[in-house]
Structure 1
Amino acid sequence: MTRIRLTPIALALAALPLHAIADPLRHVDPRIGVVGDGATVIGPSLPFGSVHPAPDTARGDNDGYRPDQPIRGFSQLHVSGTGWGQYGNFLISPQVGLNTVPGTYDSAKADERAEAHQYSVRLTRHGIGAELAPTRNAVIYRFRFPASDDAHIVFDAVQHIPGHINESMMAQYRTPVPARLELSADGRSLSGHARFPGGFGGPYQAYYYAEIDRAPSAFGTWRDKALQPGARRIDSSGTLEHLGSYGRFDTRDGRPVTMKIAVSFRSVEHARATLAREIPGWNYEAVRDAGARHWREALGAIDVQGGTDAERTIFYTALYHAHVMPRDRTGQFERFPDTAPMWDDHYAIWDTWRTLYPLYALIRPDVVRDTVNSFIARQQADGAVPDTFIAGVPQFREQGGNGTDMIIADAHAKGIAGVDWHKAYEVIRHNADRRRTGPHFDNPGKGPGPYRELGWIPAGIMSNSMSLEYSYNDFAAAQVAEALGQADDARRWRERSRKWTSLWNPDAADAGFQGFTMPRKADGTWIDVDTRKYGGSWKPHFYESNAWTYSYFVPHQAAMLVERMGGRQRFIERLEYAFANNLIDTFNEPSFLVPQLFHYVNRPDLSARWLQRITGEKFTLKGYPGDDDSGAMSSYYVWSRLGLFPNAGQDVYFLNGPAFDALAVRRPGKADLQITRSGEGIYVAGVTLDGKPHERSWLRHAELDRTHRLHFTMSAMPTAWATRSAPPPSMP
């Protein structure tokens, strides 16, 4: 490795002012992640908005859509990047003629255009142009029909993705949907509610209120094939039938038909009031332009310079996807105070605590504040705060650990203001002393479970992966406890966080490397399993991973892990072997931190090398290398381009070098953080903080917080920078 010193030119570059990119919204392409594994939504939303309208297609994926399939219509709610489907409710289908049976009115498409704040398409079956733009809780549609006296808008009140769109889910979720729909006397407005069977989350009830800008020439309700002309009310009969309403319009005057709809999880009255407040008129352009302003403000959190147009598009699309979920549904649920923030659609905090919430801590601390305060409100109302919370319904369907602890601990470590930390601590204490019960579903009172008694879970479903995640939960809980003066709790939980070693089998071996986390029976007997076998979802021993990956998941005791794996040099050889032989599932959440572990053995160059291979080659204009998982994958990419990476739940960032020449990170209430680079290559040769040399390959949050200019000097070859400095902190 070569040693490169900071030159006067490099120091001068670090002092140059940054200028905002002209229009970050121009670099957002919502099609990225829709095709392939990303599972993102092609339709528009507002940042953290409740509604997310989008086209649904025949044989749609988890997001309800496949680009090679005909469009069935446009529904108002979707989840983004998830590994299971949800929502797809309150479908609107513009037609010429009248068809009410799903599958009989699907249309091919042309001229599809997807933007962050609006979506448009031409439905070629009848030559209908469709445009839509959302507010936070409502959507405005504009349909341009051909000249006809038989144009229709059909509304399906019971469709949902798990039961009607995603074929892989239908066997489980094709169940009756209790519903009611009512039309006004002139047919211009419709309202109602339905109770849907859920998807990944539990059953939920949703309400709607919609208006059309003109009275239809005829209207009625329908149930499957049967029409009820002039009828103003319809209820489901408890069967699998579809039902809804229709309106007929004369469009020979060339005027478009405009429709607007609000969705509420509280009541029809709440939806009606929301629509009147958020879309009081019929000005499509006003709604569209307001959405664009919201997105420009959100995306302006990070300004970039340099890179190619494609690289900027991938970056800003990732930043866009990091602002979709969770969703702000404050005031939507009756059991919570209207004044209490309520953040919903935590599809899986197991996904989002590692990179998404640390990104919010940097650029949107208000989101972190409100999320933690919503945890407090949920603890007080529901008595528990499970990781999954969709449509206001808590679900004890855990993928591993208690991720809420990690969001709270990360927020506390970074000094997020506006939280009553003693109340937040009650959430942590409840999880640590009443939960940590091991894998179970929908049964929070299952019992103490072996983890709280042993500090590990005997061999079974997810036993090793959940034990390791619980260990880190306990460390995070102990950190908060100690800061709040709860010494006894801190001692108990910190001691339990060390018990991951009880599942470390020093004799387990693969490819000449010894020591792996392995399943163990309650009597202490080891079970020999294939270290490379992928566990899948809710399978024995490892959740969505294997022993190779989870043997590295000890974020709080990395130094001990290095020792257990044979010391510094052997650790380096082993981790390089794991990456080179694809033994680490680098695109799933448990492995997000693994490339950063080279920092603990003073080889930041190896972190840079493997991070570049992981993110620089696999994130493209065609999509992502895996499910976006509610912005988890996108935020992982954003961190990789910033040149920083968080050890979530702690106050530590690893320094890897930025991918752009310059970035300005807007920090609300503080001076911008300006990140710059000089030189070519992926390896860091030197770092300065406000012009002063920094020899460590990591920073604490307090250091970053007071830094205005973070400059990296880069090299095409590995260098000696930070090879002799103190490694990142690790619990003894």
Structure 2
Amino acid sequence: MTVRHAHAVENRRGLPVSRINAARIDIKRACCAIAFSIVTGTALAGQSSAPATPVDWVNTFIGTGGEGAEYGGTMPLVTTPFGMTNWTAQTRQNRISVSSYEYHDSYIHGFIGTHQPAIWMGDFGYVTLMPEISDGINYAPEARRLAFSHQDEISTPYYYAVTMHDAAAHPVRAEITATDHAGYLRFTYPRGVTAKVLIEATRPGIEGFVRIDASRNEIIGYNPDRMDAHLGPLKLPNFKGYFVVRFKQPFTEAKVYEGTLTWPDKQEVKGDNVGAFASFDTSRNTEVDVQVGTSFISIEQARANLDAEMPSWNFDALRDALKATWNRKLGIAIIEGASDDQRRIFYTGLYHALLYPRLMSEQGRYYSAFDDKVHNGTSYTAYSIWDIFRAENSLLTIFAPERIDGMVQALLQDYQEGGWMPKWPNPSYTNIMIGTHADSLVAEAINKGFKGFDYQLAYQAVYKDAMTPPDGDTTRRWFDREPHTPYEARAGLTYAEKLGYIPADKISEAASSTQEESYDDYAVAQVAKAVGKMDDYRFFMHRSSNYRNLFNPTRGFMQARNSDGSWASPDDGWTEGDQWVYLFAALHDVPGVVKLLGGPQAASAKLDAHFNGGHNRHDNEPSHHYGYLYDYAGEPWKTQARVREIAKDAYSNTISGILGNEDCGQMSAWYVFTAMGFYPLNPASGEYVIGSPLFTHVSLNLPNGKRFEISAPDNSAQNIYIQSATLNGKPLDSPVISYAQIEAGGTLNFVMGPKPSRWAADWHPQALL
């Protein structure tokens, strides 16, 4: 999700809309050139040898630099894969459209345990700690901040360290490592100073709780803030982010504060803008070790998480264990024939993709933000579904298949507890973006053979998405980010059932929704087929052709329609796109779109106009499949050239190395797939269309014990065109492979050359409908 449209409207995040063209990309790259050497060195500062393991190639600063919300919005997070709480230095107060860390900042005013999944979403239940060395007590971020330089920073997925300085140049060292639900922070102070640790439970305007427990050497509390609480239908009176802050060294003094007042005689406080300070004697030991357990269930559960995950005070062992965990996951892919920059982009992309969705469960229980209760089971949140259904989720089926059943089951639990599978849980309904693309995640899991969830329950959930209009469907326009609205589901479904499309004069973003929900109907059909409901399967497959009702043959584009059947303005009805971006939005029926346009030759000419006219917006998800569409138009060599061009132009090993917002791994997933040589254009199908691999060799050491290899020994910057291909020694004449073929193991071999060939040019898939 990122700003896209040229017209003076607002996108789904309520941000002002602008148009990004090729010139802007060139300017962006020029600006990044200065930062290039800084970034490549900073991520590995203090390491004298060349990167030796996959995690050593991760550059956590890619995507951390920019202005407003028009950049990657990433943070240098220390966390486990899919960890519930992420830890990062805080250079600014995060909020909707502002991340905690921005590379250009010069001060750090905290180290935050954050749950913010993307720059355009809010945080919830967070907690902040900050070392201080002044004689006074500094509450406000501006007062407590310390200066730092990137030269004094080390950042990896498993370890972060920075040396900061106050105005008198006193150094304070901070280090972080983490587990699923806890963070370990180690602060080193100058000898003999007044050393303190601030625990900020809540900010101004947020009522929270903090208590000093000297007998346990702990400070405990909770933060009930949900920055996205105004979105969606639910109020959650029981929601809280609980924490237990445990110190290894005994504190000499501890105080609680409320607002700008300290309460020396109190051990606890409940109120607005609350927190605590702990003071330490550094005359002998200058280190202060702090472990922070987090929970959404209770303080007791936060303590139990801490006891289970950090049973001893061994920072180095935890750091080394987390490094090993990341190497196991990232090491599923071993690449050869990549430049150093490509390696960093690739493994950083995998790191970003393996952060989301994140755990919401704790030792077999979870708090549900859909009924405000605690349940037994496993749960996940932070599904940026409008983004990740395209490629990120598909990447997880390869790199983290052990998580897929639990992730789908979590969506079904949300359905049981709240009445619907969510669009974008953070951690509850937010009504952000369009469609019901959780249907796609369910269908993809089923078509790929995952069986660890209830298929019948899954069909109930997707059937409700497809057949039940939201409350007040015909009385609302369903604009994005309307506060406290009912769950949006498929806005305008009441009209669509009668007209075969969503009318633009009744419903916002009608043209995009009609097309995307046609794909969702295809996904629902797959689930119907899996549970043996063949009449429903045929019904939904037929209804998935509704996108065709928007094709205007006179203009050769999709176009919104009004409730009386007339054409709306060509500029109306789009979500973060326009008529060019949404021409090929029917991911499930690209052959059908090709037929509407007049056949392969006409479709290829339209794609040429799309790219040559600057209409491809790779910094937003609806354009992500466009480079691969030439495979369906009889000119796969153009796909091979286009995807190489996009990979080169849209990604770099710099602080602005992601073109547009990262979007919970989707931007990175595109690169990882493209680098391997294929992409899930229709993700629910379980098939991948072939592009042009970036490397000479990729070995996928799959979690099922098999190995799948992609070999292109003659690959180079010049040899971008596939001359021929074999799968396990047999000729591959179509530009398609399946998930089942990958999971079975084997070798996909490409013969590459400098000129286009007619490999797979005669592949003409039939329309599905």
TM over 0.5: yes
Please point out which of 425, 436, 460 is paired with 1:426: 460
Aligned residue pairs, count? 674
Does residue 681 of structure 2 align to residue 649 of structure 1?
no
CA contact (8 A) 2:688 2:738 kept: yes
Please point out which of 262, 280, 302 is paired with 1:227: 262
Residue identity opposite 1:106 in structure 2: R
Name the residue aligned to 1:304: 335
1:355–1:273 distance in 2 versus 1, CA, 3 Å: same
Identity of aligned residues (%): 27
1:505–1:379 distance in 2 versus 1, CA, 3 Å: same
Name the residue aligned to 2:6: none
Greater displacement, 246-255 / 272-281: 246-255
The gaps in structure 2 that reach 5 residues or longer are 1-50
CA contact (8 A) 2:172 2:188 kept: yes
Name the residue aligned to 2:594: 562
Name the residue aligned to 1:517: 558
Greater displacement, 260-269 / 559-568: 559-568
Residue identity opposite 2:685 in structure 1: Q
Cα deviation, residue 448, structure 1: 5.2
**Aligned counterparts of 1:283 and 1:670: Cα–Cα separation in 2:** 33
1:292–1:702 distance in 2 versus 1, CA, 3 Å: closer
SS across alignment from 1:390: coil
**Aligned counterparts of 1:729 and 1:427: Cα–Cα separation in 2:** 30
Name the residue aligned to 1:90: 127
SS across alignment from 2:251: coil
**Aligned counterparts of 1:548 and 1:88: Cα–Cα separation in 2:** 41
CA contact (8 A) 2:146 2:165 kept: yes
**Aligned counterparts of 1:87 and 1:731: Cα–Cα separation in 2:** 43
The gaps in structure 1 that reach 5 residues or longer are 1-20, 160-174, 509-514, 531-539
Does residue 747 of structure 2 align to residue 720 of structure 1?
no
Following superposition of structure 1 onto structure 2, how do residues 306-345 of structure 1 map, counting pairs within 5 Å? 306-330=337-361, 331-333=365-367, 339-345=376-382
Name the residue aligned to 2:518: 471
Can you list the C-alpha shifts for 1:336-357, whole angstroms capped at 9, x where unaligned? 77553211122x2101111011
Please point out which of 688, 692, 701 is paired with 2:726: 688
Name the residue aligned to 1:600: 632
1:728–1:129 distance in 2 versus 1, CA, 3 Å: farther
Greater displacement, 545-554 / 214-223: 214-223
Cα deviation, residue 562, structure 1: 1.2
1:260–1:702 distance in 2 versus 1, CA, 3 Å: closer
Name the residue aligned to 1:198: 227
CA contact (8 A) 2:246 2:292 kept: yes
Name the residue aligned to 1:406: 440
Residue identity opposite 1:522 in structure 2: S
1:447–1:470 distance in 2 versus 1, CA, 3 Å: closer
**Aligned counterparts of 2:739 and 2:317: Cα–Cα separation in 1:** 41
Residue identity opposite 2:540 in structure 1: W
Cα deviation, residue 87, structure 1: 3.9
SS across alignment from 1:389: coil
Name the residue aligned to 2:23: none
Can you list the C-alpha shifts for 1:321-378, whole angstroms capped at 9, x where unaligned? 11111112222316677553211122x2101111011111122222221111112222
Cα deviation, residue 727, structure 1: 2.8
Greater displacement, 271-280 / 228-237: 228-237
**Aligned counterparts of 1:261 and 1:367: Cα–Cα separation in 2:** 25
Name the residue aligned to 2:213: 184
Cα deviation, residue 230, structure 1: 4.2
Alpha-carbon RMSD across the aligned residues, in angstroms, is 2.1
Can you list the C-alpha shifts for 1:289-316, whole angstroms capped at 9, x where unaligned? 1111110111012111121122111100
**Aligned counterparts of 2:686 and 2:764: Cα–Cα separation in 1:** 14
Can you list the C-alpha shifts for 1:593-651, whole angstroms capped at 9, x where unaligned? 12111111221111111111111232111111111100000111100001011121112
**Aligned counterparts of 2:765 and 2:99: Cα–Cα separation in 1:** 40
Can you list the C-alpha shifts for 1:222-248, whole angstroms capped at 9, x where unaligned? 1233222242111115xxxx2210011
1:584–1:657 distance in 2 versus 1, CA, 3 Å: closer
SS across alignment from 1:547: coil
Does residue 739 of structure 2 align to residue 701 of structure 1?
yes
Can you list the C-alpha shifts for 1:351-407, whole angstroms capped at 9, x where unaligned? 11110111111222222211111122222222211111123x233x14121110000
Does residue 405 of structure 2 align to residue 362 of structure 1?
no
**Aligned counterparts of 2:328 and 2:88: Cα–Cα separation in 1:** 23
Report the TM-score, using the length of structure 2 for normalisation.
0.84
Name the residue aligned to 2:147: 108
**Aligned counterparts of 1:504 and 1:151: Cα–Cα separation in 2:** 68
**Aligned counterparts of 1:716 and 1:389: Cα–Cα separation in 2:** 46
**Aligned counterparts of 1:526 and 1:675: Cα–Cα separation in 2:** 47
**Aligned counterparts of 2:728 and 2:100: Cα–Cα separation in 1:** 48
**Aligned counterparts of 1:712 and 1:23: Cα–Cα separation in 2:** 27
**Aligned counterparts of 1:68 and 1:417: Cα–Cα separation in 2:** 46
Name the residue aligned to 1:352: 388
**Aligned counterparts of 1:448 and 1:555: Cα–Cα separation in 2:** 20
Name the residue aligned to 1:210: 245
Following superposition of structure 1 onto structure 2, how do residues 86-165 of structure 1 map, counting pairs within 5 Å? 86-87=123-124, 89-97=126-134, 98-110=137-149, 111-125=152-166, 126-159=170-203
**Aligned counterparts of 2:144 and 2:423: Cα–Cα separation in 1:** 39
Cα deviation, residue 189, structure 1: 0.7
Name the residue aligned to 1:168: none
Greater displacement, 196-205 / 120-129: 196-205
Residue identity opposite 1:520 in structure 2: R
CA contact (8 A) 2:366 2:374 kept: no
